[in-house]
């Protein structure tokens, strides 16, 4: 471990997205415009050590990886114990 003393940490996350369309018409959509994060903490460590710590944390963050990388999505649906394929929703 890096053994860097950090105090009073907090993170604020803001999701910028649009949800629109009509449930009744079947035109529901969502569009992501971005995600903003703000990290705040106190530490007496050197700027180099803090940069190393923060870079490691961000590079290892599952949530950030899911947002910044193209991730294949495989969907299967089961209704009453049987496969329920839907064109355009589940794998064919």
Buried b (16+ CB within 10 A) or exposed e, 24-59: eeeeeeeeeeeeeeeeeeeeeeeeeebeebeeeeee
In a domain, 23, yes or no: yes
Which tens digits make up the pLDDT trace of 44-88? 999 999 999 999 999 999 999 999 999 999 999 999 999 999 999
- Whole-model pTM? 0.73
Number of domains in the chain: 1
Residue ranges making up the domain that contains 21: 7-83
CATH code (residue 73): 3.30.300.20
**How many alpha carbons fall within 13 Å on the CB side of residue 87?**
0
In a domain, 92, yes or no: no
């Amino acid at each position: 471990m890096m053994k860097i003393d950090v105090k009073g940490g907090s993170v604020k996350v803001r999701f910028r997205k649009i949800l629109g369309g009509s449930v009744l018409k079947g035109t529901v959509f969502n569009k992501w415009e971005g995600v903003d994060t703000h990290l705040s903490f106190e530490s007496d460590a050197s700027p180099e050590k803090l940069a190393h710590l923060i870079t490691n944390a961000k590079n290892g963050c599952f949530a950030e990886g899911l947002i910044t990388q193209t991730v294949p999505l495989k969907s299967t649906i089961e209704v009453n114990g049987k496969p329920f394929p839907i064109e355009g929703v589940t794998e064919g």
